[in-house]
Structure 1
């Protein structure tokens, strides 16, 4: 930019620089014709902003200069759904429908055996509740 720090900055030399947040701050200062803060303070702010941006890019941080709440902290955490899914054993009945068919056949054969012995489930409306209601009358 300038050879010596005491030389005034020219807008032509600054126009060649790609404006990032720090340099754009400096450009806006020069365009407005100065300010009450002083050039040294503006330069210090620009340098610290540039360093913060570089640090964020290098280390993969999210830059939040305004301090507004964001959900980045939550989104940065690892997902744990896969670990929860691994906790439960794999259900083989979903892989092979014949396994479920065998279980159903076994259940029906057991039910028919109980019915032959008279131990099967009662008909609809003739269970314990119906017996209790009839006794109360």
Structure 2
């Protein structure tokens, strides 16, 4: 596994948000435990705000969480709290921790794409990096 990214967004425990910039991409790792859907949405809002402050429109988010993705009512609460405006004006590539978790995130991707947003879920970091950097 790669070494942790050098910067940490403080104040989001039990989630640890590590980040770095790589040319024109904000690379983010989510580690720890999700907590509530509302708390996890606030973590995504913090990344959105960081990208805005850095004037970066491409985000590569990597799931290294210890627990399972939200499903059912928790996923709906997460999406409602997250809000589509989180993704507006940015291209977000999200790398699932493992290929077997990709399916758990597909409904989220479909919701975002139905709203006209550039959000994609990947099981491979290399595919996610290619898409976030070069897709038109």
Compute the TM-score of the two structures, normalised by the length of structure 1: 0.21
Query: Which structure dedicates a bigger proportion of its chain to strand?
Result: 2
Q: Radius of gyration: which is bigger?
A: 1
Query: Which structure dedicates a bigger proportion of its chain to helix?
Result: 1
Higher relative contact order (CA 8 A, sep 6+): 2
Compute the TM-score of the two structures, normalised by the length of structure 2: 0.21
